[in-house]
Homo-oligomer: A and B are copies of this chain.
Amino acid sequence: MPPVPADRRYAVWLSDPGFAAAEIARGIGYGAAVLDIEHGAFDLADLERFVPFLRSLGLEVLAKVLGPERGPIQQALDFGADAVVIPHVENAAHAKAVTAFAKFPPLGDRSFAGGRTTAYGGFTDEWVAEQDRRTRCLPMIEDAGALEDVAEILALDTVDGVFVGPSDLSLRRERGAYTRAEGDFADLRRVADAARAAGKPWVLPAWSRAEKEFALRHGAGQLALTMQHGALAAGLTAAFEETAALQESTAAE
């Protein structure tokens, strides 16, 4: 139905399961959605419904799960997410342990569940291979230890790329609150270089123009362009300011 093609490089960052927000984003041309399950308000029954809806709209679903644990990783994949983004990976050893939950044995340790992903039927060895190949596992680089080990993490065969968390990285690299400064971009460059060397993509939440430009220039596989809340605030502010200005000019007449 939507005439605008979906560009999967450009993702919208969602904090709740808003069906209308997803339709609006898809109508503009966004081709992916990052679900901030970690900090947002996604209950299980909502997630179970939202993930297939997003996919049916033609949006790739990146589920940033609650934590580096089996349960949340497994559920996002059971519900049909295209990728799991795993926060607070501490280092290569931790990455090895937790990314395993995203891939089936013998590659990893994901648990099997018949349901949406098997079209509500049984499974075969081919299906197992296809799931492991098709769904992506993206550990986050937001802890100092993960940045140190980024090459080693990218080398894991349970890892399909990395996703940067610049705010937490700034705090944990002892630069305090994130200011998009020199040091921040140096860290991002390190991730970008490691990703290119590994031949795997890296993903960046890029709210500012500077971050967007950096991501584009350094070959980020995907960018989250704006948060649902940030976009709403921008739109509400514009309408408010237009009216306040009109009010002033009208009153001045």
A interface with B by C-beta (< 8 Å): 2, 10, 12, 15-16, 18-21, 23-25, 27-30, 36, 38-39, 41-49, 52-53, 56-57, 66-67, 69-72, 74-75, 78-79, 87-88, 104-106, 109, 111-116, 119-125, 127-128, 142, 165, 167-168, 171-172, 174, 176-178, 206, 209, 212-213, 216-217, 223, 225-240, 242-244, 246-247, 250
Judge whether B231 and A236 touch: CB under 8 Å. yes
Taking the full assembly, how many copies of this chain does it contain? Answer: 6
What are the residues of chain B within 8 A of A226 when measuring CB–CB?
A: 235-236, 238-239
Given A28-B237, A43-B43 in contact, is the A176-B125 Cβ separation under 8 Å? yes
What are the residues of chain B within 8 A of A244 when measuring CB–CB?
A: 29
Q: A24-B232, A67-B70, A122-B177 are in contact. List 20 more A-B contacts (CB 8 A).
A: A15-B115, A16-B18, A16-B20, A20-B116, A20-B120, A27-B120, A28-B240, A29-B244, A36-B113, A38-B111, A38-B113, A41-B48, A49-B53, A70-B88, A105-B172, A111-B142, A112-B167, A127-B177, A216-B247, A235-B235
Q: Which of A71, A123, A124 has the most CB of B within 10 A?
A: A71
- A121, chain B: closest CB distance, angstroms: 8
Judge whether A24 and B87 touch: CB under 8 Å. no
Given A39-B115, A48-B19, A120-B23 in contact, is the A174-B209 Cβ separation under 8 Å? no
Judge whether B231 and A105 touch: CB under 8 Å. no
